[in-house]
Structure formats: C-alpha cells, structure tokens
Amino acid sequence: MVGSRAPLRQGRRSAGAAALAAVLLFAPSARADRRDQRAADLYTEGVKLIRQGKYREGAAKVNAALARGATEPVEAQGSETRFLARPYDPYYWLGVAQMETGLPEQALANFEKSATMIPKGRKQPVLADAPGEWADLQRRRDRLLASLEVPTPVIVAAAPTPAPTPTPFAVRLPERTAPAAPTQVPAVAALPRSAPPLPSAVPPPPEALALREDLSTLLSDPGTSERAGETLRPRLARLESALRRGAAAARAEERALRRELSGEAGKPVLRAALEAGLEAHRERRYEEAARFARVAGRLIPDAPQPHLLRAAALGTLWILEGEASAGLEAEAREAYGTWSSLRPAGAPAPRYLSPVLRDRLERPRPVPSHG
C-alpha cells in the first residue's frame, strides 16, 4: 500500500508543480500589465465628478488612479470582463480640474503631457480618439498660454522616456522671476524666424468665446457628441478658424453660426442636449441637468424646453437644500418665467416638473418683514 501511494503523491506533486510553473510562466508582472480595473474605476469616478463641476473630489480620484501605477495614457484601461475606460488620459482631466480651481501652471503642465505623450504603436496621443476632449484640450492650452504669456512650445522628437508623474494637484509651481535687464539694447532687433506671431491688438469678441465654450461643452460629453457631433464639430472648427483670423472674422462667424442653430441645424443639438439633461435629471444629477439646460438655452434661445428643464433641476435642488439658497430660487423662478413666456398657449408642463414644485415657482415670493 505504501509503495502504491508514493507514486501517487509524487504524481500529484509533479502535477501541482507543473500547474504552478504554468501560472508563473504566463502570469504577466504587475509592472508590465497596464490593465488595472481599480485604476479604471477610480478614473471613471473622477471624470464623472469633474464633469459635474466637483473638481477637487474628481482630481483626488484621478490622482488615486495614477498612484496605482497607471501613469501612461492608453486607449483602454480596465478589464475586458468588466468594463474599460476609453480613452484613459488622466493628465487631461487633472488639467481641467486644476484650471477650474485656479492652478494654471499645473494645468498647463498636465495639458502638455496629454498632448505630447504618444504610447508605443500609435502615431498620435490617445485623447485624439475623443474629438470633443481633444478640441477642448487645444482650446484650454491656448488660453493658458495666452494668459500666462508663455510662448507656444516647439515639440521636438526625442528618445522615449519613462512615463512622467502627474503634476501635484495642490502644489503651486515657483513664481517666475523677471530676467535681468540687458545692459545694452540694440536700436533694431529682428524677430527670429521661429518667434510666434504678435498678438492682435483687438481681443476676441466675448460672444464668440462664449459660443466656443458652449459648443466645446457639448462635444466633450460622450452622449451629446455621439448624438449631435456631425453638426457640432464642423461648426466649432469654423469658429476656431475665424478666431485665428481676428476679431472681425470671429464676430461675423459667431453671428452666422447662431443664425444656423436657430434653424434646422439646431434641432439635433437641442434634442441631444435635452436628452442628456433629462437623463441626468432622472439620475438625480441636478447640477449636471441644469448645465445642459443652460447650454441648450443659450444656443437655441427661442426653444422653451431648456428653460423648463433648468427650472425643474434648480428648483428641485432648492427644495432638497431646505429652500435656503436664494440664488437657486431666483434662477429657478427666472427659468420658469422664461419657459412660460416662450411655450405655446395652453401647453401643459411635462411630468418631470412636479405639481408641488410648479406651485412653489408660481407662488409669489414672500416679502421679508422688517421690525
């Protein structure tokens, strides 16, 4: 019996060793495998928070994904058996959060990383696969370069370097010190051939910049970009081109685009923005619903639906916060009043505006008593 058991135990040990060897042979090292589901989860949560305007909370999530070692932008991060973050570019979203919270130097540094890091096997950065975010990156980078008076950097091809670490979210870069004044200034100084063009003396019209912001906002959202991208992308490109030609061209193009959006071209844009806003409202993301409604209302000001959606989202927030915010109440009432003036006579309010909220918005505001 003993003799018969020994070969069996030896066979089991051999089979176990072979299985262990197979696992060790084919299991990729954590360092070489860029697929990290937890990093994908953190990144997705962070992007969602940043889209909602919760920039510091979102940046903390994105930094947590980077802290796990997922420091290289890739086409897809995560596990095929669960879900993938496409594309995975933490530097762009950190830059957005930093720009919106008053950290322009850090934002610019991260935008440069996003625009110049090209993974092996690709010919362009991964963010270029998302036209809305790519256009927003260029726009934000140009704005920061202009505001910080930094010349546009010249990108020179170099040997591959290790993936950089993100610029810290809460640490400001050292202040610049002005260069020492030259002891002698030549009478005539020629600009080098590579010098950037001098800025125009006439600033871009604010109406054109506001329109660019609204078009970029819709394109940066995956849902609205998919639903109305064919209408939005060429018009944003036209406006960008006009802005580069000067203030007069930008103003003329802005007026032409607004006329187009007030007609047939605006219908898919309005529908896409309303669908995204209603989806956010159903999921109780009221701030995001109001943001879509504001953009739609500015792009197609004669449409009544965006103003009612804005009133519903902000009025709901106002009630949920105990009716303590006078600002929320005032904007909700203003939006409801605009909808009432634009809607067809006798048109009922949609179901997403509850009767209770409608009653509160139609009721006159109480006059505060003194004494």
Identity at 273, one-letter amino acid code? A
- Name, in order, each residue with C-beta under 8 angstroms of 140's C-beta and a sequence gap of 6 or more: 95, 96, 99, 107, 111
- Rounded distance between C-alpha atoms, residue 235 and residue 257, angstroms: 7
- Rounded distance between C-alpha atoms, residue 216 and residue 233, angstroms: 9
pLDDT tens over the chain, length 371 residues: 444 444 444 444 444 444 433 333 333 333 334 567 777 788 888 888 898 888 888 888 888 888 877 777 887 775 654 556 668 888 999 999 988 888 888 888 888 888 888 877 788 888 888 878 888 888 898 888 877 654 444 444 444 555 565 655 544 444 555 555 544 434 434 434 434 443 445 788 889 888 998 998 898 888 888 899 999 999 999 999 999 999 899 999 999 999 999 999 999 999 999 999 999 888 888 888 899 999 999 999 999 999 999 988 898 888 888 888 888 888 888 988 888 888 877 777 666 677 878 888 888 766 555 54
CATH of domain 37-148: 1.25.40.10
CB 137 within 8 A of CB 91: no
* Burial status of residue 31 (CB atoms within 10 A of its CB: 0-12, 13-18, 19 or more): exposed
In this predicted structure, what is the pLDDT of residue 166? 62
Give pairs for 327-331: CB < 8 Å, separation 24+.
329/365
Among 311, 277, 270, smallest CA distance to 292 is for: 277
- Rounded distance between C-alpha atoms, residue 272 and residue 266, angstroms: 10
In this predicted structure, what is the pLDDT of residue 332? 87
In this predicted structure, what is the pLDDT of residue 9? 43
Q: How far is CA 367 from CA 323, 324, 325, 371, in A?
A: 15, 15, 16, 13
Report the predicted TM-score, pTM, of the whole model to 2 decimal places. Answer: 0.48
What phi and psi, each to the nearest 5 degrees, are found at residue 85? -85, 115
Q: For residue 78, give the H/E element and its range.
A: strand 77-78
In this predicted structure, what is the pLDDT of residue 145? 82
CB 172 within 8 A of CB 62: no
The three-point CA angle 64-68-71 to 5° equals 90
- Rounded distance between C-alpha atoms, residue 111 and residue 173, angstroms: 15
- Name, in order, each residue with C-beta under 8 angstroms of 276's C-beta and a sequence gap of 6 or more: 221, 223, 224, 227, 292
- Using only C-alpha atoms, the chain has a radius of gyration, in whole angstroms, of 27
Strand partners, 77: 85
